[in-house]
């Protein structure tokens, strides 16, 4: 995700890359007296709707935070439930995604995952590699600090092997060693559930992302919520450290 940020997109256009922190499944369930697992299952339905909506709205890249490197600290039964949901999602939805021309990418650490999950993720990427529609980036066992540390390890190995001078390490070079360096950085990051934090998601890539926090739980997310967040994004002015565009100060807030 090293594409330089160069000034946003023309008004009326969808953001190229939307990233989603799909939060609040547990609270959605608790509010209804249901087990947390039911919230996660309804969350998968919201994800299906959202992938369809993102494609229809002309978004190029949709990144979804599915399981964080820190989520292993949850009770074993919930972790087991979440792993089962990922297995079922790939087995059930992969063909549909493929037929919809969706290209699946995966970011995060794969080495700690069960072998069958690792294989399913690889299968999803392999099957959809040549697709040209929406790029769906699944952040699974993902932590941004860990991703940056892995990138630093790669550079350190190149320095140790004598192939890279320490002075040659720039922000761009480090970005080029992140998990999906060819993708644009997120223009818009949406978090549901009312929490206003990134929780170790895309810390590097979010340097100039617009952040939208929605007061709804993830299972209630739908196309209207996505369109609302995009409308809010369009009202923002992205400056990337430069100055406001002429006339921008006169727009209503």
Distance in angstroms (rounded) separating the CA atoms of residues 226 and 214: 10
User: SS in 3 state form for 30-48?
Assistant: HHCCCCHHHHHHHHHHHHH
Per-residue x/- track, 213-252, ligand IPE (CB under 6 A):
-----x----------------------------------
- Write the CA distances from 150 to 127, 147, 214, 229, 237, integer angstroms: 26, 5, 31, 32, 33
Query: Which listed range, 10-18, 53-61, 64-72, 181-189, lies at the site for ligand IPE (CB under 6 A)?
Result: 64-72
Residue 23 or 187: which CB sits closer to Mg ion?
Answer: 23
Residue 41 or 223: which CB sits closer to ligand IPE?
Answer: 41
Number of residue whose CB is nearest Mg ion = 23
Residues 6+ apart with CB under 8 A from 96: none
Task: Reduce the DSSP state of residue 108 to 3 states and report it.
Answer: coil
How many CB atoms are located within 10 Å of the residue 248 CB? 10
Contacting residue, 1, 18, 22, 188, with ligand IPE by CB under 6 A = 22
Active site residue 179: no
- Write the CA distances from 226 to 15, 31, 223, integer angstroms: 11, 23, 5
Query: Which listed range, 6-14, 157-165, 189-197, 226-234, lies at the site for ligand IPE (CB under 6 A)?
Result: 189-197
Query: Which listed range, 44-52, 63-71, 153-161, 231-239, lies at the site for ligand IPE (CB under 6 A)?
Result: 63-71
Spell out a b/e string for 208-228, using b for 16 or more CB atoms within 10 Å of the CB, else e: ebbbbbbebbbbebeeebbee
Residue 21 or 54: which CB sits closer to ligand IPE?
Answer: 21
* Assigned token pair, 142: 């993902």
Catalytic site residue from 23, 93, 179, 187: 23
Q: In what order do the strands lie in the sheet with 17-21?
A: 103-107, 135-142, 61-68, 17-21, 188-191, 210-213
Active site residue 25: no
- The reply on whether position 26 binds ligand IPE by CB under 6 A is yes
Query: Which listed range, 23-31, 97-105, 145-153, 169-177, lies at the site for ligand IPE (CB under 6 A)?
Result: 23-31
Per-residue x/- track, 66-105, ligand IPE (CB under 6 A):
xxx--x----------x-----------------------
- The reply on whether position 21 binds ligand IPE by CB under 6 A is yes
Distance in angstroms (rounded) separating the CA atoms of residues 176 and 153: 13
- The reply on whether position 23 binds Mg ion by CB under 5 A is yes
Binding site for ligand IPE (CB under 6 A): 21-27, 65-68, 71, 82, 193, 195, 197, 199, 218
Catalytically active residues, by annotation: 23, 71
Binding site for Mg ion (CB under 5 A): 23
């Amino acid at each position: 995700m090293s594409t330089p940020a160069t000034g946003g997109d023309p008004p009326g256009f969808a953001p190229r890359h939307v990233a989603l922190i799909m939060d609040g499944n547990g609270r959605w369930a608790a509010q209804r007296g249901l087990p947390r697992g039911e919230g996660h299952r309804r969350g998968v339905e919201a994800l299906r709707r959202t992938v369809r909506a993102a494609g229809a709205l002309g978004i190029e890249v949709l990144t979804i935070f599915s399981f964080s490197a820190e989520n292993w600290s949850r009770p074993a039964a919930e972790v087991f439930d979440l792993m089962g949901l990922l297995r079922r999602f790939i087995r059930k939805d992969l063909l549909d995604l493929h037929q919809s021309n969706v290209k699946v990418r995966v970011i995060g650490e794969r080495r700690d995952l069960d072998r069958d999950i690792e294989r399913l993720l690889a299968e999803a990427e392999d099957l959809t590699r040549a697709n040209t529609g929406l790029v769906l980036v699944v952040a699974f066992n993902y932590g941004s600090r860990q991703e940056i540390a892995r990138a630093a390890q790669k550079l350190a190995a190149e320095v140790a092997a004598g192939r890279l001078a320490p002075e040659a390490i720039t922000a761009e070079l480090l970005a080029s060693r992140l998990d999906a360096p060819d993708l644009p950085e997120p223009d818009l990051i949406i978090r549901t559930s009312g929490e206003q934090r990134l929780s170790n998601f895309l810390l590097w890539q979010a340097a100039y992302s617009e952040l939208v926090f929605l007061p709804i739980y993830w299972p209630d997310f739908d196309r209207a919520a996505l369109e609302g967040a995009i409308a809010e994004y369009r009202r923002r002015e992205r400056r990337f450290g430069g100055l406001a565009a002429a006339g921008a100060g006169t727009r209503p807030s």
